[in-house]
Amino acid sequence: MKEKMHELELQYNSLKFRISRSANQALQRFRDNSHIAVLRYDHPISNAQTFPITETVPGTIQFHDMSLFSEHIQNSKSQYQLIFIQSIWDVSPETLVPVLDKIHKYQSNAKVVFLDWYAPIHIPQPEILEMVDLYVKKQVLKEHQQYTGMYNTNLLEYENQHNDNYQCNLANIRYIQVDLDILSEKLFTGWNFATDRRLTEQLKKKFYLNKDRPIDVHCRIFAPSERKSWYQHMRGRAYDAVQEIAQKRSQQFKILSENARVPYHKYINELAHSKLCISPFGYGEICWRDFEAILAG
């Protein structure tokens, strides 16, 4: 009996080895013949933009380091049809331009797509517009003329205009201008928070079907008492406004207004039991909470 078991174990290990070897060979074949390369920044926000590519296109080659990617482009024998580039939010043009130069030199037939995952709606890298075939953002302004001149984010200007307690010296902030003809040709709306894996998984749980909603208004916002940046001031004003309503209408409405973080499952459960969700601007005009509110119905 032991000999029989030992023989079966050997057969199983042999089969497992052959399957593993076949899978690796198949994977290597995909890699050798791959026509898509993705340089991506690994972050929960940026992953929502690359997930539809990396998880659905077999054989996509992924890189997480710009220097390694640049070296690969220069030395690889593979010729790509599509190259997607996603960088950290504060990368400088001086860092990006040499990488794009290498792509044009060593991968001259490749179409280059820059994936701008940054929250603000402005164009932070106008210097690279002429070097890419498409410039893809999570959301874009309907009127492209608004891109003719903008600071790091137009929310900074917004807060300057609407908050007497916060005034930023705009002279010290980078003012960005773009060529509208080039921008209109290359600017596209791409994947965004709606394609975030976490949200698509939560959608399967069908929170939106819940009809038991005892919370009238949900407002869970991080609003520090000491507010230094335009972001903290803007979010803080939203929190303060809801707090004022909660104090005046506590007998009339049940308002959940807290300046504290909770585990994600608890947060989503709160939304699913709320009638209304307060979703103020973040670093950009559109944020996760907009989609989470839809998710929760």
Distance CA 212, CA 274 (A): 8
Closest CA to 110 of 95, 131, 92, 128: 131
Count CB atoms within 10 A of the CB of residue 52.
13
Which of the two residues, 177 and 188, has the higher pLDDT score?
188
State pLDDT tens for residues 7-47: 444 443 443 334 334 333 433 443 444 588 999 988 888 88
Residues 65 and 178 in one domain: yes
Q: Give dist(CA 75, CA 192) in Å, integer.
A: 33
Min mean pLDDT across 68-82, 166-180, 186-200, 237-251 is at 166-180
User: Are 83 and 57 in the same domain?
Assistant: yes
> What is the pLDDT at residue 26?
35
**pLDDT of 170 strictly over 70:** no
Same domain, 271 and 168: no
> Same domain for 166 and 282?
no
The torsion angle over the Cα atoms of residues 45, 50, 51 and 56, rounded to 10 degrees, is 180
- How many CB atoms sit inside 10 A of residue 283's CB? 16
Does residue 187 lie in a domain region?
A: yes
Same domain? For 159 and 241 the reply is no
Look at residue 164 and tell me if it is in a domain.
Answer: yes
End-of-domain residue from the set 162, 195, 228:
195
Residues 115 and 248 in one domain: no
DSSP class of 95: H
Residue with the bigger pLDDT between 170 and 17: it is: 170
- Neighbouring CB atoms inside 10 A of 253's CB total 14
- Tell me: do 253 and 160 sit in the same domain: no
Alpha helices in 163-229 (DSSP H): 180-186, 197-203
What CA–CA distance (Å, rounded) separates 231 from 221?
12
If you compute the radius of gyration of the chain from its CA atoms, what whole number of angstroms results? 25
Give me the amino acid identity at 29. Answer: R
Q: Which of 202, 194, 184, 206 is nearest to 134 (CA)?
A: 184
Amino acid, single-letter form, for residue 162: H
User: Does 68 map to a domain?
Assistant: yes
In the structure, what pLDDT confidence band is assigned to residue 168 with cuts at 50, 70 and 90? confident
How many domains in the chain? 2
When pLDDT is averaged across residues 176-199 and rounded to a whole number, the result is 87
Of residues 120, 119, 117, the one with CA closest to residue 147: 120
Query: How far is Cα 176 from Cα 169, in angstroms, rounded to an integer?
Result: 16
Looking at 130, 164, 195, the residue that finishes a domain is 195
User: Is the pLDDT higher at 152 or at 50?
Assistant: 50
Task: Assign 248 to helix, strand or coil.
Answer: helix
| CATH number for the domain harbouring residue 51 | 3.40.50
The boundaries of the domain holding residue 283 are: 197-295
**Assigned domain for 13 exists:** no
Which amino acid type is present at position 78? S
Question: pLDDT for 222-280, tens place per residue?
Answer: 888 888 888 888 899 899 999 999 999 988 999 999 998 999 999 999 999 999 999 99
Q: Are 38 and 60 in contact (CB under 8 A)?
A: yes
Residue 120, pLDDT score: 79
Compare 57 and 37 and report the one with higher pLDDT. Answer: 37
Mean pLDDT of the chain: 82
Q: For residues 270 and 248, state if they share a domain.
A: yes
The reply to whether 222 and 181 lie within a common domain is no
Q: Is 149's pLDDT higher than 80?
A: no
**Which residue, 195, 215, 250, sits at the end of a domain?**
195
pTM: 0.80
Which letter does DSSP use for residue 130 in this model?
G
In a domain, 249, yes or no: yes
- d(CA 287, CA 45) in angstroms, rounded, equals 10
Phi, psi for 164 (deg, rounded to 5):
-70, -20
- In angstroms, the CA 13 to CA 263 distance is 43
- Give domain status of residue 1, yes or no: no
In a domain, 114, yes or no: yes
Residues 239 and 152 in one domain: no
Query: pLDDT class for 3, splitting at 50, 70, 90?
Result: low
Two tokens at 122? Answer: 């402005």
- Residues 147 and 65 placed together within one structural domain of the fold: yes
Biggest CA-to-CA distance, the chain: 85
Q: Are residues 100 and 131 in the same domain?
A: yes
Is residue 161 situated within a structural domain? yes
**What pLDDT is recorded for position 101?**
95
